[in-house]
Amino acid sequence: MTSQRLMCRVVALLGIGAGVLATPAVAADCPELVGNWPAGDAFAVSVSGPTAYLGSGSTLVVVNVSNPTTPTIFGETQLPGVVNGIAVSGAYAFVAIDQGLIVVDVSNPWAPIVVGSVGGWLANGVAVSGPYAYVASSSGLRVVDVSNPTAPVEVGSSDTPDQARGVAVSGPYAYVAGWPPLEVLTSCEDLLFTDGFESGDTSAWSATVP
């Protein structure tokens, strides 16, 4: 059974890479549901170690997933808007909400605490790299210095033709999903921020890079 599931995962990844997800004949149970969190809707999720961070409406929920078959709630905190995206770095969760970016101290998962915020714009997604949070917003990509999590400061931005829906950062580049479906921009390690590439004539809602 283990070898079958391994084959399933390998075949599924190959299928995704080719743009078509085939159903392997040897693995009708792939992917297999092993557990769930039944207490309401979840619109965003991020995982760090044995802990998952969920956006359920306007609530950030911290969940113990050390036993994935029976997730249990550590703690939660109410935020001033709907959670659209979450990124976790160290002891902090950076949460994109309808009103901007919220910084939550999650060093004590039983009592997450809001410690900072910045915004005035709709935030759809967020990624963190080094001292910067990259926020996909209603008016493009915004860059926030979070070196002091209690006092985040916007330090750069780049307009997009439509809303930026999602963002991922790898090395010196930020990858922004929206319309056009993908834009590649230089990141802010040296406070450089210029358009580098854009592709397509459709739309995208999220982006991820390994």
> Do 14 and 55 fall within a single domain?
no
> The sheet that has 72-78: what strands, in order across it?
44-48, 51-56, 59-64, 72-78
4/133: higher pLDDT: 133
- Are 176 and 136 contacting, i.e. CB atoms less than 8 angstroms apart? yes
**Residue numbers of the domain that contains 62:** 36-199
Q: What is the pLDDT of residue 192?
A: 38
The amino acid that residue 3 corresponds to is S
Instruction: Specify the pTM.
Output: 0.74
Q: What contacts 118, CB < 8 A, 6 or more positions away? A: 100, 101, 144, 152, 153, 154
Distance of CA 173 to the CA centre of its chain: 16
Q: What is the pLDDT of residue 183?
A: 53
For 101-127, what is each residue's pLDDT tens digit? 999 999 999 999 999 999 889 999 999
> Do 23 and 40 fall within a single domain?
no
> Do 107 and 24 fall within a single domain?
no
Q: What is the pLDDT of residue 193?
A: 42
Q: What is the pLDDT of residue 59?
A: 95
> Do 113 and 145 fall within a single domain?
yes
CATH number at residue 88: 2.130.10.10
Q: What is the pLDDT of residue 162?
A: 76
Sequence-separated contacts (24+) of 89-95 with Cβ below 8 Å: 89/128, 92/146, 92/149, 93/46, 93/53, 93/60, 94/126, 94/128, 94/133, 94/146, 95/55, 95/60, 95/126
> Do 12 and 44 fall within a single domain?
no
Q: What is the pLDDT of residue 27?
A: 57
156 forms beta bridges with 143
Instruction: Compute the distance between CA of residue 34 and CA of residue 22 in angstroms, rounded to an integer.
Output: 21
Instruction: Compute the distance between CA of residue 70 and CA of residue 37 in angstroms, rounded to an integer.
Output: 8
Instruction: Note whether residue 156 is domain-resident.
Output: yes
